[in-house]
């Protein structure tokens, strides 16, 4: 009887994990498509580059997602957040298209997709538990954010490149961590998971684009 109960619990757990994964990837695909639309609109209307000021609406929208993630309103705020980030991509894409052409953008998209599918696929196949990296990733992002702010106000040679490399590595680790959290039951909210993965992809894409654009310049 105990064995039957254990097998039933395991089956239910597997179904829940599959549901969270399915909903996360479906919502992630939709938000990426929506961001592409808003980025195109931003390019068409010459939406201005906001620099660090983009963080203020971003933090507000992120807070709204966190507060509503357990309700249907969370879906609205996820699209509001990702749509806004798509808008902030518009002027960046316009700049690179005007200076280096579309090739770096295509290569950055391909590199981002390769990183995402490679890292998430690795965790899904090996079922590696990445919970041990939680503290390292959170601390790393805090340090990277402080370094980013310092780079914006101080003229320190090489700091901007170091910050970009830090965000690239940490965002890649975050993809593995979030995928691991889903398959091991540590993350059961697909809205939170979607936002984490989307922001990681946003970081990776913009960083790769800056590297490729600089190399082509």
- Residue-level pLDDT, tens digit, the chain, 217 residues: 444 333 333 444 788 888 999 999 999 999 999 999 999 999 999 999 988 888 899 999 999 999 999 999 999 999 999 999 999 999 999 999 999 889 999 999 999 999 999 999 999 999 999 999 999 999 999 999 998 888 877 777 678 889 999 999 999 999 999 999 999 988 999 999 999 999 999 999 999 999 998 755 4
Give the residue from 124, 152, 143 showing the smallest Cα distance to 53: 152
Phi-psi region of 185 (alpha: psi -120 to 50; beta: other; left: phi over 0): left
Give the residue from 111, 96, 92, 106 showing the smallest Cα distance to 214: 96
Residue 12: its pLDDT value, please?
A: 41
Going from N- to C-terminal start, the domains of the chain cover 20-216
Residue 3: its pLDDT value, please?
A: 46
Q: What's the CA gap between 160 and 146, in Å, rounded? A: 12
Residue 151: its pLDDT value, please?
A: 81
DSSP summary character for residue 45 = T
* Cβ contacts of 78 within 8 Å, gap of 6 or more: 27, 31, 65, 191, 194, 195
* Cβ contacts of 210 within 8 Å, gap of 6 or more: 164
Q: Burial, 185: exposed, middle or buried (Cβ in 10 Å; 0-12, 13-18, 19+)?
A: exposed
Contact 154, 169 (CB under 8 A): no
Provide the token pair at 118: 């490679």
Q: What's the CA gap between 36 and 44, in Å, rounded? A: 12
- The answer to whether the predicted template modeling score (pTM) of the entire model surpasses 0.85 is yes
């Amino acid at each position: 009887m105990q064995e039957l109960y254990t097998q039933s619990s395991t089956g239910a757990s597997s179904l829940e994990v599959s549901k969270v994964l399915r909903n996360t990837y479906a919502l992630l695909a939709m938000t990426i498509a929506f961001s592409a639309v808003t980025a195109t609109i931003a390019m068409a209307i010459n939406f201005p580059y906001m620099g660090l000021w983009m963080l203020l609406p971003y933090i507000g929208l992120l807070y709204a997602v966190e507060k509503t993630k357990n309700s249907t309103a969370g879906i609205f705020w996820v699209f509001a957040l990702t749509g806004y980030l798509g808008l902030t991509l518009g002027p960046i894409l316009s700049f690179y298209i005007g200076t280096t052409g579309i090739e770096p953008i295509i290569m950055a998209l391909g590199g981002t997709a390769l990183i995402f599918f490679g890292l998430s696929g690795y965790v899904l196949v090996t079922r590696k538990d990445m919970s041990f990296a939680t503290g390292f990733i959170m601390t790393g992002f805090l340090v990277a954010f402080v370094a980013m702010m310092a780079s914006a106000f101080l003229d320190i040679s090489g700091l901007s490149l170091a910050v970009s490399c830090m965000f690239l590595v940490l965002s890649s680790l975050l993809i593995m961590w979030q995928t691991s959290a889903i398959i091991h039951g540590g993350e059961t909210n697909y809205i939170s998971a979607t936002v984490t993965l989307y922001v990681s992809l946003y970081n990776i894409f913009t960083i790769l684009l800056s590297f490729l654009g600089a190399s082509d310049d």
